[in-house]
A and B are shown apart, each in its own frame.
Chain A
Amino acid sequence: MREIQPTRSELLEVTRKIRLTQNGHKILKLKRDGLILEFFKILDQAKDLRLEIAKRFREASEKIAIASAVDGVIAVRSASYALTGHPEIQLRSRNLMGVVVPEIKSSKIVAPIYERGYGIIGTSPRIDEATDAFEKLVETVVKAAELETTMKKLLEEIERTKRRVNALEFRVLPDLEEIERFIRFRLEEMERDNIFRLKRIKGKMAKAAEA
């Protein structure tokens, strides 16, 4: 406060800043509300996806247990290592209300039976069913990864925006208003000083004229 120059130009500058801050505050509040709405929309999808993952995981676990029981552990382990190729994950980004969120696209998680790397004739359908179940599980996990990362990014942005809104509302704006008040008060006081000084000069000049 001590470094503030109580000048008219400073007052104009502070008033401009206050107006700008109020606008910014309003926009940030709108952004925060928008992000929260978007977050809740994605939250519902993420919840459904989580349930789907749990369901698919249960199914896949049961299928692999059945395959191990019917075909033996070595056959299952060997079939699981047979697929040498790995699914490619393409990571792109998109803009969601100013937040950069990932867009994950995976290529070829579900492979045709003849590309799985194990023999067709001697492998039981139980191993195929277990493979199917795990392929579907990985597909759901990739979808969930996109959604949950988006959710995490949105949460971070909501938190950041909330902090900015609060900082503007409870810190920046009150400070600027305080400065504005201080400058006005100082200017008014300087004005009063001036008037008083002028009156004194006028009085002195009148006395000198009379003498």
Chain B
Amino acid sequence: MWPFKGGGNFAYACTRVKAKKRFLLSRDTYSRMLVMDVHEIGRFLGETQYREEMTKYASRYSGANLVEVAITRNLARTYSDILSFTTGHLREMVGDYLKRWDTFNVKTVLRGKTTGVGEEDVMDTFVPAGSFSESYLRTLVQLGSIQELMDALSKEPSLGITPELVREVVDTGRLAQLEDHLDKSMYYDLLKIIEETNLPDQLLRQFVRREIDVTNLKVLLKLKAERIPEDKILKYLIPGGLEYGMDKLKALAQAEGLSAIMEELEKSSMYEVIKGAVEKFKADQKLSDITIAIDKALIGTSEKFAHFYPLSVLPIVNYMIRKKVEVDNIRIIARGKESALSNAVMEDLLVV
């Protein structure tokens, strides 16, 4: 008996996603884009699946700004599209996974408000793929003051914003605590929502827990490199990881320097993928490469899961991740070209 039957249109959705996957840009395409200038990149994107957004925003933006806005909006459209063709429990799971974009959008509107970015510019940066609609996000952007915005956000139960956080942001204008709270509560909520009663949920939960591992590792690496004391590190760690529980993370936070984390990474299941980056880190002590490698390992995990369970939620999650990576890669190339970064630097930043 097929275990996912009745929980949603897994077969149909996975086939649609498989077809969509074919349109993702290949490694060769990135190599070609690296030798183009920003305008050529824009023109090239106008002939791909980004055509609609490139045409729509071409009258308002140009150069790297046009590319960034168009690819971001395309990402939102892609996610909405996926949500629209999934049904039943599958739709719920995809919707839950996409709630991270609520966090992204809330952070964007807060950042835009505190830094005085224009309303339209903030609107164009949104990825309205979560539970907050575009019109709701527009009303948030149009609120006059940070106090009004925080009051409106604190009424959203899914964000769990406490009065203390509202006061912190309104009084000091500092977003750090709120941003960390949003990032943490996104994972807490996701783990709370995804039950372990059936196989699709179990698979998604396992993947989310893997994601928490990756997030925790990146935070640990960052804070340990800055020699931040253990008590301060602990409040940034998210419980619920798959391979790295809180006890293990606590021990790593207590350890002197980064060598303990490196030793732990050498024992981890992702070591084969990040081996080169770990060796490089030991030589140059730069975090960029190792964090990119960890991200690549997570994509690899989602790819593996998608192959193991081809008719589950995982191929869809894998596609959503790969689409996001593609958008990030295009932005890296376009912005990199605009800032005259060397091709070698851009190549190192690309996740392919």
Spell out A's residues near B (CB within 8 Å).
Answer: 61-62, 65-66, 68-70, 72-75, 77-78, 81-82, 84, 112-114, 116-126, 128-129
Contact at B111–A113, with CB atoms within 8 Å? no
Q: List 11 A-B contacts (CB under 8 A).
A: A66-B341, A69-B332, A69-B334, A72-B125, A72-B331, A73-B65, A82-B175, A84-B173, A114-B176, A119-B179, A129-B287
Closest Cβ of chain B to A109, distance in Å, is 15
Of A69, A81, A82, A113, most buried by chain B (CB within 10 Å of CB) is A69
In the complex, B324 has a CB within 8 A of chain A: no
Of A77, A112, A120, most buried by chain B (CB within 10 Å of CB) is A120
Contact at A119–B180, with CB atoms within 8 Å? yes
Contact at A113–B174, with CB atoms within 8 Å? no
In the complex, B199 has a CB within 8 A of chain A: no
Contact at B176–A119, with CB atoms within 8 Å? yes
Q: How far is the CA of A112 from the CA of B177 in the complex (A)?
A: 15
Contact at B336–A65, with CB atoms within 8 Å? yes
Contact at B335–A124, with CB atoms within 8 Å? no
Q: How far is the CA of A74 from the CA of B291 in the complex (A)?
A: 21
In the complex, B228 has a CB within 8 A of chain A: yes
Closest 5 CB pairs of A and B: A119-B179, A78-B111, A65-B339, A69-B335, A121-B183
Q: Point out the residues of chain A lying under 8 angstroms from B184, CB to CB.
A: 121
Contact at A119–B175, with CB atoms within 8 Å? yes
Contact at B219–A74, with CB atoms within 8 Å? no
Interface of A is mostly: helix
Query: Which listed residue (B107, B179, B222, B341) contacts A69, Cβ 8 A?
Result: B341
Contact at A66–B345, with CB atoms within 8 Å? yes
Given contacts A120-B180, A121-B215, A128-B222, contact A74 B335 (CB under 8 A): no
Query: Which listed residue (B107, B115, B215, B349) contacts A81, Cβ 8 A?
Result: B115
In the complex, B238 has a CB within 8 A of chain A: yes
Q: Point out the residues of chain A lying under 8 angstroms from B5, CB to CB.
A: none
Contact at A118–B341, with CB atoms within 8 Å? no
In the complex, B117 has a CB within 8 A of chain A: yes
Q: How far is the CA of A6 from the CA of B285 in the complex (A)?
A: 85
Q: Point out the residues of chain B lying under 8 angstroms from A124, CB to CB.
A: 291
Contact at B179–A122, with CB atoms within 8 Å? yes
Contact at B349–A69, with CB atoms within 8 Å? yes
Interface of B is mostly: helix
In the complex, B122 has a CB within 8 A of chain A: yes
Contact at B345–A62, with CB atoms within 8 Å? yes
Contact at B125–A74, with CB atoms within 8 Å? yes
Contact at A65–B175, with CB atoms within 8 Å? no
A78 to chain B: closest residue by CB: B111
Given contacts A70-B332, A75-B111, A128-B222, 19 further A-B contacts (CB under 8 A): A62-B345, A65-B335, A65-B340, A66-B345, A69-B332, A70-B328, A70-B331, A72-B72, A73-B335, A74-B111, A77-B115, A78-B112, A82-B114, A117-B174, A120-B180, A120-B223, A122-B180, A123-B179, A129-B288
Closest Cβ of chain A to B237, distance in Å, is 9
Spell out B's residues near A (CB within 8 Å).
Answer: 65, 68, 72, 103, 107-108, 111-112, 114-115, 117, 121-122, 125, 172-180, 182-184, 215, 218-219, 221-223, 226, 228, 232, 236, 238, 287-288, 291, 328, 331-336, 339-341, 345-346, 349
Q: Point out the residues of chain B lying under 8 angstroms from A68, CB to CB.
A: 335, 339
Given contacts A124-B291, A128-B222, contact A118 B345 (CB under 8 A): no
B121 to chain A: closest residue by CB: A74
Of A62, A70, A128, most buried by chain B (CB within 10 Å of CB) is A70
Query: Which listed residue (B68, B175, B180, B332) contacts A73, Cβ 8 A?
Result: B68
A116 to chain B: closest residue by CB: B176
Q: Point out the residues of chain A lying under 8 angstroms from B180, CB to CB.
A: 119-122
Q: Point out the residues of chain A lying under 8 angstroms from B333, CB to CB.
A: 69
Contact at B218–A65, with CB atoms within 8 Å? no
Q: How far is the CA of A119 from the CA of B179 in the complex (A)?
A: 5
Contact at A120–B222, with CB atoms within 8 Å? yes
Q: Point out the residues of chain B lying under 8 angstroms from A116, CB to CB.
A: 176
Q: How far is the CA of A112 from the CA of B229 in the complex (A)?
A: 11
Closest Cβ of chain A to B177, distance in Å, is 8
